[in-house]
């Protein structure tokens, strides 16, 4: 039952929350509760933006009296699940209390929007409130994402209310939601907060497969009891809404999930669901059930194919890959058939649905960059399962496609790619993808990074293809792009600017990241309908793990460790190849003087890692491994070649460690090959 009466909503107290003991310094950034329970942190009789708080109260119980009287409970962060309401005394047994949910304090008085139809979410209505009674809504009315609950009297009487307790239902495959397989901890507090906020955002998007949003939407209220996929847990787009598989969103959120919680089940089940609905022409759905938009989007189809690689190779799921391999090949074929063989060699978009961007269709640069990535991912997967013929074909096709994109879409005056051959738009998404996916030259990648920087304002990076508003989906791509262009400080600056803005905004959740916002920093997507916890907004997590911490998987049981500190002076974290199979990384960077890196892969059995350390353009003093000198600069010169003015203390590094087969050096990098189940410390010292 839902009500749509708009009521106006004065007591403000802080509720004392249980103290959490942090075992590790990064535990203080964790938003996920170990016991799957959320308790309100404060309450106020003033609903609306940023209600004032008084000192803690000895009693959290409050009394509602008279129609329109309200109390708002603030959980201090994005939460979600099934609400448990309990009451004290009542004036009589005929009282009614309305319940409103909202992610932002802007809408805490009346609740925000999630249902997606022409109706309103309205209230959960609790009728005939019993003295000392309890009320638990049905599954249909679980709320996947919110920060505020407001209780509003609908009758002329009184009711004593206790702070509602929320039972978390997201991430059902994790008994302890706080037990993430990976961690990240750097010298930058804001980057740490953002990394954990990204992980928490995506964790709330991993939902029970029977907790999807009903579609078509009900005439009034909302219903989150629809089946949205195969398996027990599904990765969807947003916590509040749409609670549906959107493969484009997964282009970001799958990487986030693997890099933070380590959960692969939700992503794998979501992709399995999409493959189960693959059309006869090879097209994968634009959106999963119950929306089931099939054959409408070439870009989302391509993102699903990239997601296949992310799950199979980065997520170490080779057996699953073999099950979907034929479907993947059919998905590739339906796109490569549309590469112009007698024209300019570009892929042509026919199914032009996409994210909220404008101008999709034709020979679009983002779509071509996605296909380039699909082909390279496909080649790597083909090699992983022994299909060398397909691998060679995909690699050759990718090379030709890259040449065509660079020949036909590049604007040499601006130093960026056009949206398509006839467009004047230089899109954020397409340029970011060309850089992130290494589809252009190193020089052009730097040029694109410079161009993208010109679109920044005080709130974030604007998207020319989205009316110059701030898209967190292409913004996530841009973060990866700056790192790929060799601009780590710029990438970190954008993360602080854009995600720091979302994290610090008091009217937001201060814990999760938004679907997108306007150029002036205000909420987009009608404001109250905007998802404040959206998986496609979580790009910084994987980008920081892959680039700042520096560890990324490069294949089955393989990784590369190549830190790019930027402005960071220390960082530690981990990458898990499965439960109990983590590679631990820790480095310290005394900028311009010394860089020390420790890698512990002793628990990651059967993994092989390569280490690459960037060298500064200043005189190098020495490089040591576990205290033993590998190279010593005897004359104080800058390295100009692999052997210039350097003396090696060991011509055969196998004498240092049987698990380290090769060390090499260039003017810009020191490289160590084939670390296997060991703990090693590398130190680079400058003059």
> Which of 526, 547, 568 finishes a domain?
547
Sheet holding 646-648, edge to edge: 184-186, 570-576, 582-590, 594-600, 679-686, 620-625, 628-633, 646-648
Confirm whether 474 is domain-assigned. yes
Same domain, 517 and 613: no
Burial 102-134 (b: 16+ CB within 10 A, else e): bbbbbbbbbbbbbbbeebbbbbbebeebeeeee
Helices (H), 158-278: 189-204, 247-259, 265-276
> Which of 547, 567, 601 finishes a domain?
547
Q: Which of 347-356, 431-440, 662-671 has the lowest mean pLDDT?
A: 662-671
Confirm whether 624 is domain-assigned. yes
- The pLDDT tens digits for 217-227 are 999 999 999 99
- The pLDDT tens digits for 156-169 are 999 999 999 999 99
Confidence grade of residue 17 (pLDDT, cut at 50, 70, 90): very low
Q: Is the pLDDT of residue 8 over 80?
A: no
Confidence grade of residue 588 (pLDDT, cut at 50, 70, 90): very high
Alpha-carbon distances, residue 104 vs 50, 72, 78, 346, 450 (angstroms): 10, 12, 9, 44, 34
35 alpha-carbon distance from chain centroid: 24
**Who's near 447: CB < 8 A, 6+ residues apart?**
415, 416
> Which stretch of DSSP H or E encloses residue 599?
strand 594-600
Two structure tokens written together for 311: 């799950």
**Which domain CATH number covers 495?**
1.50.10.10
Count the alpha carbons within 13 Å of 395 in the hemisphere toward its beta carbon: 11
Q: Is the pLDDT of residue 233 over 60?
A: yes
8-state DSSP, 484: H
Confirm whether 465 is domain-assigned. yes
Q: Which domain holds residue 302?
A: 184-547
Confirm whether 3 is domain-assigned. no
632 alpha-carbon distance from chain centroid: 42
Confirm whether 364 is domain-assigned. yes
For residues 379 and 394, the answer to whether their CB atoms sit within 8 Å is yes
The pLDDT of residue 59 is: 54
8-state DSSP, 337: T
Instruction: State how many domains the chain has.
Output: 3
Same domain, 443 and 321: yes
The pLDDT of residue 22 is: 55
CA pair distance 622, 630, nearest whole angstrom: 8
Confirm whether 473 is domain-assigned. yes
Confirm whether 420 is domain-assigned. yes
**Which domain CATH number covers 568?**
2.60.40
Confirm whether 172 is domain-assigned. no
- The pLDDT tens digits for 541-565 are 999 999 999 999 998 899 999 999 9
**Who's near 486: CB < 8 A, 6+ residues apart?**
442, 445, 446, 564
- The pLDDT tens digits for 637-659 are 444 444 333 334 433 333 334 44
Same domain, 652 and 522: no
Same domain, 153 and 210: no
Same domain, 541 and 555: no
Same domain, 252 and 264: yes
> Which stretch of DSSP H or E encloses residue 185?
strand 184-186
8-state DSSP, 130: P
Same domain, 413 and 437: yes
For residues 228 and 290, the answer to whether their CB atoms sit within 8 Å is yes
| Residue that the structure tokens 């398509």 belong to | 420
Same domain, 90 and 109: yes
Same domain, 533 and 556: no
Phi–psi pair at 565, nearest 5 degrees:
-60, -35
> Which of 167, 195, 215 finishes a domain?
167
The pLDDT of residue 606 is: 87
Same domain, 353 and 439: yes
User: Computed over its alpha carbons, how large is the radius of gyration of the chain?
Assistant: 26
The pLDDT of residue 104 is: 97
| Closest C-alpha to 78, from 507, 519, 495, 500 | 507
Helices (H), 143-220: 189-204
The pLDDT of residue 382 is: 97
Q: pTM for the whole thing?
A: 0.94
CA pair distance 163, 142, nearest whole angstrom: 17
Helices 365-384, 428-436: inter-axial angle, 10-degree rounding: 30
The pLDDT of residue 50 is: 53
3-state secondary structure of 85: strand
For residues 139 and 243, the answer to whether their CB atoms sit within 8 Å is no
Same domain, 558 and 530: no
Phi–psi pair at 514, nearest 5 degrees:
-90, 160
**Which domain CATH number covers 70?**
2.60.120.260
Query: Average pLDDT over the chain, rounded to whole?
Result: 91
Same domain, 99 and 114: yes
């Amino acid at each position: 039952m839902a009500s749509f009466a708009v009521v106006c909503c004065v007591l403000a107290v802080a509720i004392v929350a249980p103290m959490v003991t942090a075992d590790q310094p990064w535990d203080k950034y964790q938003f996920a509760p170990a016991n799957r329970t959320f308790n309100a942190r404060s309450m106020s009789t003033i609903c609306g933006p940023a209600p004032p708080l008084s000192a803690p109260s000895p009693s959290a119980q409050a009394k509602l009296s008279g129609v329109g009287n309200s109390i708002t409970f603030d959980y201090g962060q994005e939460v979600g699940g099934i609400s448990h309401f309990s009451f004290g005394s009542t004036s009589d047994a005929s009282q009614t209390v309305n319940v409103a949910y909202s992610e932002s304090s802007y809408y805490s008085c009346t609740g925000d929007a999630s249902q997606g139809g022409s109706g309103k979410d309205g209230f959960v209505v609790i009728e005939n409130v019993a003295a000392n009674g309890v009320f638990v809504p049905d599954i249909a009315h679980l709320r996947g994402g919110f920060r505020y609950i407001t209780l509003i009297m609908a009758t002329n009487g009184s009711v004593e209310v206790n702070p509602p307790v929320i039972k978390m239902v997201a991430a059902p495959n994790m008994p302890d939601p706080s037990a993430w397989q990976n961690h990240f901890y750097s010298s930058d507090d804001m980057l740490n907060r953002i990394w954990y906020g990204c992980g928490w955002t995506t964790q709330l998007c991993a939902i029970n497969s029977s907790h999807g949003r009903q579609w078509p939407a009900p005439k009034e209220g909302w219903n989150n009891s629809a089946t949205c996929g195969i398996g027990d847990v599904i990765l969807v787009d947003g916590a509040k809404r749409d609670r549906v598989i959107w493969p484009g969103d997964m282009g970001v959120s799958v990487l986030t999930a693997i890099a933070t919680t380590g959960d692969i089940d939700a992503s794998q089940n979501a992709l399995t669901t999409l493959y189960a609905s693959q059309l006869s022409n090879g097209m994968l759905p634009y959106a999963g059930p119950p929306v089931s938009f099939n054959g409408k989007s070439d870009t989302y189809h391509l993102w699903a194919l990239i997601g296949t690689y992310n799950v199979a190779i980065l997520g170490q799921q080779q057996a699953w890959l073999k099950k979907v391999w034929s479907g993947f090949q059919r998905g590739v074929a339906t796109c490569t058939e549309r590469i112009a063989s007698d024209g300019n060699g570009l892929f042509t978009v026919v199914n032009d649905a996409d994210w909220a961007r404008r101008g999709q269709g034709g020979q679009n640069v983002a779509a071509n960059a996605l296909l380039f990535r699909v082909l390279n991912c496909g080649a790597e997967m083909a090699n992983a399962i022994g299909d060398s013929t397909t691998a060679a074909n995909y690699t050759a096709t990718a090379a030709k496609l890259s040449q065509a994109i660079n020949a036909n879409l590049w604007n040499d005056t601006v130093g960026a790619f056009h949206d398509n051959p006839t467009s004047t738009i230089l899109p954020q998404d397409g340029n970011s993808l060309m850089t992130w996916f290494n589809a252009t030259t190193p020089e052009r990648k730097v040029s694109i990074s410079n161009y993208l920087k010109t679109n920044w304002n005080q709130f974030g990076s604007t998207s020319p293809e989205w009316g110059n508003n701030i898209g967190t989906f292409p913004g996530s791509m841009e973060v990866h792009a700056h790192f790929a262009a060799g601009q780590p400080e710029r990438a970190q600056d954008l993360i602080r600017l854009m995600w720091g803005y979302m994290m610090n905004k008091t009217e937001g959740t201060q814990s999760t990241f938004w679907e997108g916002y306007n150029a002036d920093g205000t909420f987009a997507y009608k404001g109250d309908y905007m998802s404040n916890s959206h998986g496609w907004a979580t790009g910084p997590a994987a980008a920081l793990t892959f680039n700042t911490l520096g560890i990324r998987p490069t294949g089955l049981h393989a990784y590369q460790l190549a830190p790019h500190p930027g402005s960071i002076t220390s960082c530690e974290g981990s990458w898990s190849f499965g439960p109990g199979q983590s590679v631990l990384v820790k480095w310290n960077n005394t900028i311009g003087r010394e860089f020390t890196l420790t890698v512990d892969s002793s628990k990651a059995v059967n993994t092989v890692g390569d280490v690459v350390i960037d060298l500064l353009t200043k005189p190098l003093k020495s490089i040591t491994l576990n205290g033993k000198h590998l190279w010593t600069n005897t004359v104080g010169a800058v390295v100009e070649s692999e052997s210039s003015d350097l003396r090696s203390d060991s011509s055969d590094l196998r004498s240092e460690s049987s698990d380290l087969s090769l060390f090499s050096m260039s003017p810009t990098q020191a490289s160590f090959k084939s670390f296997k189940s060991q703990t090693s410390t590398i130190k680079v010292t400058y003059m």
